[in-house]
Chains A and B, each alone.
Chain A
Amino acid sequence: MFGYLLKRLAYTVPVTFAVTVVCFLLVHIAPGDPLNAVAPADAPAEVVEALKAAYGFDRPLPVQYAKWLGRAVNGDLGRSVASGRPVSGEVLSAVGNTLLLAVVGGAAGFLGGTLLGCLAGYFHKTRIDRLASALSVAGVSVPHYWLGLLLTIIFSAQLNWLPAMGAGPGGSRDWAWDLAHTRHLVLPAITLSVIPMGIITRTIRALVAELLSQEFVHALRAKGLRHGQVFAHVVKNAAPTALAVMGLQLGYLIGGSILVETVFAWPGTGFLLNTAIFQRDLPLLQGTILVLCLVFVALNLLVDLIQPIIDPRMRRN
């Protein structure tokens, strides 16, 4: 078990290194000059050169990468070209907001999906199953920016129950656990929960239906176990796979909520990325992508470490 832990930790080293290289290069491969955002198009050549030197864009790529990496390791992701503020501060506050939204939305989706999936799998090929499956297909298929707009129209514009934009009253960017802030979380979290709900429902439905037809379930019934006790065994067997899918989903939620964050003007990483791309804010873009990738790597590591705790077959090296 300890060997597995070390091995799995060691795997993250090359992955993390590759992530930094790709993050750095991706932005340099993309078309467009990063200085467009700061220097006017008709700026004199010597001003452009001076700016290039100031941001370090005149150096060869490997040198730029080495310097960037060295600073990144120390927590310095440079300064935003557009705002001049340190990137790390902006990214960290955005990551906090995104994580909050992803965890709450994800938890709602996982809970709903697990419930629906267990029902659908247990009542396989009955009306309950068809209803749950229909909900799950709808969840996966509905574009979530559209659902977000629809929810905004109904609950904000028409009924005026919940705020439509931002993470807190008066454009507050810092989260607090009070009613005023929580009201802002409801609509984006619901919108975000729909896709993982659908995917988890389908995964768990298939898992449960398949497990229920296995010989060991007959054997458990032959021992005289009650329905609930048998189902507890099934759930424990389904857990490792379900958990792996949930981990991946959470990863997507953190990286992939750009549209939802934009629709609800949620000050998270998606919103930040969107801004960075449109302003050609290179350091901000690099920093945000890097932090998102690292969160993704950490999540996968976490799932891989939890799985063998549940499933003894994964403890072998």
Chain B
Amino acid sequence: MTSFVSVENLSVRFHAAKPVHAVNGVSFDLAEGEVLGLLGESGSGKSVTLRALMRLHPDKVTRYGGAVRVDGQDVLGMAPAALESFRGKTCAMVFQDPILAFDPVYSLGRQITETILRHEPVDQATARARALELLERVQVPSARRRYDAYPHEVSGGMRQRAMIALALACRPKLLLADEPTTALDATVQIQVLLLLRELQKEMGMSVIFVTHDIGVATEISDRLAVMYGGRIVEQGPLAEVMRDPRHPYTRGLLASTVTGGMRGRRLEAIPGMPPDLTLLPPGCAFAPRCGLAGDDCRAAVPPLAATGRRQIACIRAEAPCAPA
């Protein structure tokens, strides 16, 4: 049986004055109804990977490599018309900052209705009724009034709920969420997160959830993939990765996160800076910041090796971490 989403050795390169190697050989699979958390810092290639799943990067400057299959369709090889029908119907996206992602001169409701009319043979009234239902489903209070509101007229949390309603308008099988809670207040963050989780269960969607926030990732994911320098460095079931991180980068990431019962302890930070994607080192991208790195680390990129249900791209991560 093939998986619902399969990404094989995906690479994304942007052609500028200096070519940017944003994603360098990413592979993962996703089953129907599964939630994958894609964790990493800014510039780790997580958002670029996500957008590549819809081939959303500007054609002129982007070179894709590898293969992306969603629901049996070859995304990177699709004809433009097929791609336009695929977007929003099979696969939809929730953007990071809804104030930027909504068209400011159209009402919220109209933007949802527009999506429905684009993909389904229904009339205006039916589409409008569906959009209202969706707004109610994502718990927008007095949805009828909000339907005619413009993006700048409602609060950030409300906008993101409307954005989710828009993404779900045509019942997509795959939802791509690009840091959907980053632009929101902490209290609103958790509400939106819970809503997403609830809707995912209800509709049985697969979700790829990009975030730099470990707390958010643990809240929503079934499986976790940690990215660094445009590659996946560690992947596995959420509980296993959290309990026993193997890659030095994952360990550093977890050690630099505030969790309960840490009062009075010094927070560890990973020294150094994320790598320059125009000038990646020949070996492991994390080697310059890694305490365990040796010459062999800098010589060649370590392959993503499977051990049990885990995959780790580190030649010094053989031993399980001692329980803390």
- A interface list, Cβ under 8 A from B: 214-216, 218-226, 229, 233, 236-237, 310-313
Once the chains are docked, how many angstroms separate the CA of A215 from the CA of B104? 11
Query: Is B114 a contact of A225 with CB atoms below 8 Å?
Result: yes
Query: Is A215 a contact of B103 with CB atoms below 8 Å?
Result: no
Identify 11 residue pairs between A and B in the complex whose beta-carbon atoms are under 8 Å apart, listed by A's number: A221-B87, A222-B54, A222-B92, A222-B93, A223-B88, A224-B84, A224-B85, A224-B88, A233-B103, A233-B106, A313-B104
Query: Is B150 a contact of A312 with CB atoms below 8 Å?
Result: yes
Given the complex, which residues of A lie within 8 Å of B103, measured CB to CB? 216, 219-220, 233, 236-237
Query: Is A225 a contact of B118 with CB atoms below 8 Å?
Result: yes
Q: A219-B93, A224-B118, A233-B106 are known contacts. Are A214 and B87 too (CB-CB below 8 A)?
A: no
Given the complex, which residues of B lie within 8 Å of A237, measured CB to CB? 103-105
Q: How large is the interface on B (under 10, 10 to 19, 20 to 34, 35 or more residues)?
A: 20 to 34
Tally of contacts, chain A with chain B, CB under 8 A = 73
- Which residues of chain B from 78 to 116 have a CB within 8 Å of any chain A CB? 84-89, 92-93, 95, 97, 100-107, 114-115
- Which of B100, B106, B114 is A215 in contact with, Cβ under 8 Å? B100
Distance in Å: Cβ of A307 to nearest Cβ of chain B:
11
Q: Is the interface of B mostly helix, strand, loop or mixed?
A: mixed
User: Beyond the given A214-B100, A224-B88, could you list 11 further A-B residue pairs with CB under 8 A, ordered by the A residue number?
Assistant: A216-B103, A218-B56, A222-B88, A223-B92, A223-B118, A225-B118, A237-B105, A310-B105, A312-B105, A312-B150, A312-B153
Once the chains are docked, how many angstroms separate the CA of A68 from the CA of B324? 93
Name which residue of chain A comes closest to B83, CB basis: A224
Query: Is A224 a contact of B95 with CB atoms below 8 Å?
Result: no
Query: Is A219 a contact of B102 with CB atoms below 8 Å?
Result: yes
Name which residue of chain B comes closest to A315, CB basis: B150
Once the chains are docked, how many angstroms separate the CA of A225 from the CA of B93? 13
Distance in Å: Cβ of A281 to nearest Cβ of chain B:
49
Query: Is A219 a contact of B95 with CB atoms below 8 Å?
Result: yes
Given the complex, which residues of A lie within 8 Å of B51, measured CB to CB? 218
Q: A216-B102, A216-B103, A237-B105 are known contacts. Are A223 and B115 too (CB-CB below 8 A)?
A: yes
Given the complex, which residues of B lie within 8 Å of A225, measured CB to CB? 84, 88, 114, 118
- B interface list, Cβ under 8 A from A: 51, 54, 56, 84-89, 92-93, 95, 97, 100-107, 114-115, 118-119, 150, 152-153, 166
Once the chains are docked, how many angstroms separate the CA of A233 from the CA of B56? 18
Name which residue of chain B comes closest to A215, CB basis: B100
Query: Is B166 a contact of A223 with CB atoms below 8 Å?
Result: yes
Given the complex, which residues of A lie within 8 Å of B86, measured CB to CB? 224
Residue from B86, B88, B102, B166 whose CB has the most chain A CB atoms within 10 Å = B88
Given the complex, which residues of A lie within 8 Å of B150, measured CB to CB? 312-313
Given the complex, which residues of B lie within 8 Å of A236, measured CB to CB? 103, 105-106
Distance in Å: Cβ of A257 to nearest Cβ of chain B:
34
Residue from A214, A222, A229, A310 whose CB has the most chain B CB atoms within 10 Å = A222
Given the complex, which residues of A lie within 8 Å of B93, measured CB to CB? 219, 222
Distance in Å: Cβ of A316 to nearest Cβ of chain B:
8
Query: Is B100 a contact of A224 with CB atoms below 8 Å?
Result: no
Query: Is A226 a contact of B104 with CB atoms below 8 Å?
Result: no
Given the complex, which residues of B lie within 8 Å of A226, measured CB to CB? 84
Residue from B85, B92, B101, B115 whose CB has the most chain A CB atoms within 10 Å = B101
Once the chains are docked, how many angstroms separate the CA of A223 from the CA of B101? 11
Name which residue of chain B comes closest to A211, CB basis: B103
Once the chains are docked, how many angstroms separate the CA of A216 from the CA of B114? 14
Given the complex, which residues of B lie within 8 Å of A216, measured CB to CB? 100-104
Given the complex, which residues of A lie within 8 Å of B166, measured CB to CB? 223
Distance in Å: Cβ of A266 to nearest Cβ of chain B:
39
Distance in Å: Cβ of B82 to nearest Cβ of chain A:
11
Given the complex, which residues of A lie within 8 Å of B89, measured CB to CB? 224
Name which residue of chain A comes closest to B115, CB basis: A223
Once the chains are docked, how many angstroms separate the CA of A222 from the CA of B53? 11
Distance in Å: Cβ of A28 to nearest Cβ of chain B:
48
Given the complex, which residues of B lie within 8 Å of A220, measured CB to CB? 103
Distance in Å: Cβ of B261 to nearest Cβ of chain A:
39
Name which residue of chain A comes closest to B104, CB basis: A313
Once the chains are docked, how many angstroms separate the CA of A286 from the CA of B86? 66
Once the chains are docked, how many angstroms separate the CA of A222 from the CA of B152? 21
Name which residue of chain A comes closest to B107, CB basis: A312
- Which of B92, B118, B152 is A313 in contact with, Cβ under 8 Å? B152
Q: A222-B54, A223-B114, A313-B152 are known contacts. Are A215 and B105 too (CB-CB below 8 A)?
A: no
Once the chains are docked, how many angstroms separate the CA of A118 from the CA of B107? 24
